[in-house]
Amino acid sequence: MAPSILSLPPTPTSILPFGPPDHGRMPTIRTIGKVAELREELRSGGKKDKNHSAKKIALKRIVANMTMSNNDMIALFPDVVACMHIPSLEIKKMGFLYLVNYARIKPDQALKALPILVQDLNDANPLVRALALRTISYIHVREFVNATMDPLKQLLKDGDPYVRKTAAFCVAKLYDHDRNLVENSDLIDRLNTMLRDENPTVVSSALASLMDVWERSESIKLTIDYASASKIVQILPDCSEWGQTYILEAMMNYVPVDTSDASILAERISPRLSHSSSAVVLTCIRVILYLMNYISDQKVISSLCTKLSPPLVTLLSKGPEIQYLALRNALLILQRRPEILRNDIRVFFCKYNDPIYVKVTKLELLFMLANEKNINEVLTELREYATEIDMDFVRKSVRAIGKLAIKIEPAAKLCINTLLELVATKISYIVQEATVVIRNIFRKYPNQYESIIGTLCENLDSLEEPEAKASMIWVIGQYADRIENSDQLLEDFLFTFQEEPVEVQLQLLTASVKLFLHRPTKCADIMMKTLNMVVNDADNPDLRDRGYMYWRLIAHLPGNNIDIAKLIVLGEKPSITAESEKLEPATLEEMCLNIGTLVTIYLKPVQQVFRTARPRRLQDSPALQKHSLPSYQANLRDTEQRKSLALLNTSIVAPQSFMSPNRGDSYNANGGNLDAAMDAAEMYFSGLGNAQMAQMQISDAAYTGSPGTQANSPSGYFSGEQHGQRNGGQHQNNGDGDFLRF
């Protein structure tokens, strides 16, 4: 395959005399020539070549060509192995590198190098012993694995710490090659005893190795008691930044039994928050947040919370990639412990040159942190972002403004004014995005802001995208009684009915019916025309079924009383909230056990992103503060809701108390019973709050783009082997789980 690389400038002249890597699998004449030449060089020299310098040069060229020449170098296997006898560390290293690279493809040839490696395992030089051990254990060939077993047991007890730490990792490597071999030996036990080693690097390596084995094993359990936890925390300061990270990772397997143990350990690891390595800092934050689940003393909790905030913000002065990671995790932490990031919203303002993935995440944080107090500041920022160049970012900013109107009731007016200012720019994608969010604002605040419909109608021409069109049509249908020329507007849209996507067609159908209900005499023709088109010509079953439903509803009205139809089609809908955009409590709990890992970038349940990942759950213990867990609190809310629902079913006579009282009076005359039944049904469905609810919404009024429907739509792009362009793109464009759905 030859990927086209259009946007890149030509690279500087390559200094090595080989071609691009994309030629076919067959060695070209040129490489055959080159291989022969290199072989000649490897064999040349003989006794004259005292320092083996010719061989070294040849080997260097071979290593250089390993990656870049499609495995042509493999033809030199016997010649390279022949060189490995030479007692020169430099040659040895290159030979080993070659071996690691090619042994799997030519196991029989590789075997000839095995005696050399085994011999080096006993070398007097610890660097050589470690090198040989590291190399031999990389090679996925049965004989190599078997030959490692016995020497390894010795090397785990080697006098030199560098060899011991290499040996510790070697156990995990062998487990990767052949788990039965390791499980049937005493290697795991030996690894365990290394946790008492005097050298901190050896201890942290042994821990990392154990964790690696545990990650992939069903049979091996890893539990750490208070004494061991305390001991490994003790050696933290003496470890390298990586060693500290391994130890902190291991702390996640410690389950506090006593709440004061958890407090003490959290306090003891908290100095790590000042480390310059983001790996140490983020992993430390993970452990402290984890331990907080087991701490009962609120004073300790709040003192820990104040410690967590500054380091998280300081990570924003690192490279953009780490900033991104820190921001994604801030989104998560904010939902679990809102008090942590309460201080200054301004640190999350976008810089003009921030990469887009950083900007988008900052935008989500601004949305989450916005409240009545700082709304002015936030809106000024968002207004600024909405005029930037990147179209996707602009759209998300506009969407955020609309969502803030829904989230912060007192600021709704302010947000709407900002949106109208943006609509006035007449830039089509801004207008379209604003239309979509204004539709949602109408749903949230019925009968309050309809005065701006006029402004929206002025911009009908710029609506091209289905979502924006559908939103506008929804508005026209819903408020047909207030828009003077609603029949004309709708007829204009209907003109292209056949060409529209289903999403818009569904909306046109519903709007036609609503229009008819608002103006039965004047607009019956429009509705009939639409119904006819839908019933006779539509291929889409949903569209046709809904058409029939409306048709029959209207055809079978008892006594032709149109008010009953109004009750059904124009009935009151549950208002929308911004809350539904938060993570599920159980997901949130699990994600917090994975702070700093890849899955926090996507903010989706671990199993959904990485199917084979080992699930992590909060382990029960007497110290676990169950009542403060998000899932527990959510359960509590659910139970209460169910109770009130039960109440509703028995006392269906007085449903008004549950619904907003300012409904139109027109259909109260039709008898409260039907009304009440409808309310009960809606109450029931709003209680479900799951995919089923989303389905309901779609068939009710096709609220495309409502947070519920999107969040539940199976995007399925984590599915295994699909490496399609589209999939890749999707992952990237979001660059995140996009759970806020701007």
Partner 1 sequence: MISGILLFNQKGENLIFRSFRSDCRPRLADIFRIQVISNVSVRSPILTLGSTTFSHIRHENIYLVAVTKGNANAAVIFEFLERVRGLGKAYFGKFDEEAVKNNFVLVYELLDEILDFGYPQNTETETLKMYITTEGVKSERGIEDTSKITMQATGALSWRRSDIKYRKNEAFVDVIEDVNLLMSATGTVLRADVNGQIVMRAYLSGTPECKFGLNDRLTLGDTDTIGPSGNRAGTKATRAAAGTVALEDCQFHQCVKLGKFDADRIISFVPPDGEFELMRYRATENINLPFKVHAIVNEVNKTQVDYSIAIKANYGTKLFATNVVIRIPTPLNTARISERVSQGKAKYEPEANNIIWKIQRFSGQSEYVLNAEATLTSMTNQKVWSRPPIGLSFSLLMFTSSGLLVRYLKVFEKGNYSSVKWVRYMTRAGHYEIRSA
Q: Are 254 and 292 in contact (CB under 8 A)?
A: no
Helix (H, G, I), strand (E, B) or coil at 722: coil
CB of 108 or CB of 198, closer to partner 1: 198
CB atoms within 10 A of CB 373: 10
CB of 250 to partner 1, least distance (A): 12
CB of 571 to partner 1, least distance (A): 42
CB of 250 or CB of 504, closer to partner 1: 250
- Give the span between the Cα atoms of 320 and 323, in whole angstroms: 5
Label residue 568 left, alpha or beta by phi (over 0 means left) and psi (-120 to 50 means alpha).
alpha
Cα 656 from chain centroid (whole Å): 42
CB of 74 to partner 1, least distance (A): 12
AA letter at 203:
V
Phi, psi of 224, deg, nearest 5: -125, 125
Among 727, 645, 624, 681, smallest CA distance to 296 is for: 624
CB of 384 to partner 1, least distance (A): 7
CB of 628 or CB of 730, closer to partner 1: 730
CB of 328 or CB of 546, closer to partner 1: 328
CB of 278 or CB of 471, closer to partner 1: 278
CB of 323 or CB of 507, closer to partner 1: 323
Structure token pair of residue 304: 């820990």
- Distant-in-sequence contacts of 413-422, Cβ < 8 A, 24+ apart: 414/375, 414/376, 414/379, 415/375, 415/379, 415/441, 416/441, 416/449, 416/452, 418/379, 418/382, 418/383, 420/452, 420/455, 421/383, 422/383, 422/386, 422/398
CB of 687 to partner 1, least distance (A): 33
CB of 3 or CB of 46, closer to partner 1: 3
AA letter at 176:
D
AA letter at 428:
S
CB of 675 to partner 1, least distance (A): 49
For 474-513, give the secondary structure using H, E and C: HHHHHCCCCCCCHHHHHHHHHCCHHHCCHHHHHHHHHHHH
Q: Are 431 and 462 in contact (CB under 8 A)?
A: yes
CB of 179 to partner 1, least distance (A): 13
Structure token pair of residue 228: 């061991």
AA letter at 201:
T
- Give the span between the Cα atoms of 479 and 447, in whole angstroms: 10
CB of 66 to partner 1, least distance (A): 8
CB of 229 or CB of 696, closer to partner 1: 229
CB of 292 to partner 1, least distance (A): 18
Output the DSSP codes for 214-234.
Answer: HHH-SS----B-HHHHHHHHH
CB of 254 or CB of 357, closer to partner 1: 357
Q: At what angle do helices 520-537 and 502-518 cross, to 10 degrees?
A: 150
CB of 666 to partner 1, least distance (A): 45
Q: Are 162 and 130 in contact (CB under 8 A)?
A: yes
CB of 20 to partner 1, least distance (A): 6
Please, which residues have CB within 8 angstroms of residue 177's CB and are 6 or more apart in sequence? 137, 140, 145
Q: Are 739 and 711 in contact (CB under 8 A)?
A: yes
CB of 16 or CB of 688, closer to partner 1: 16
CB of 597 to partner 1, least distance (A): 5
CB of 376 or CB of 498, closer to partner 1: 376
Please, which residues have CB within 8 angstroms of residue 381's CB and are 6 or more apart in sequence? 349, 350, 366
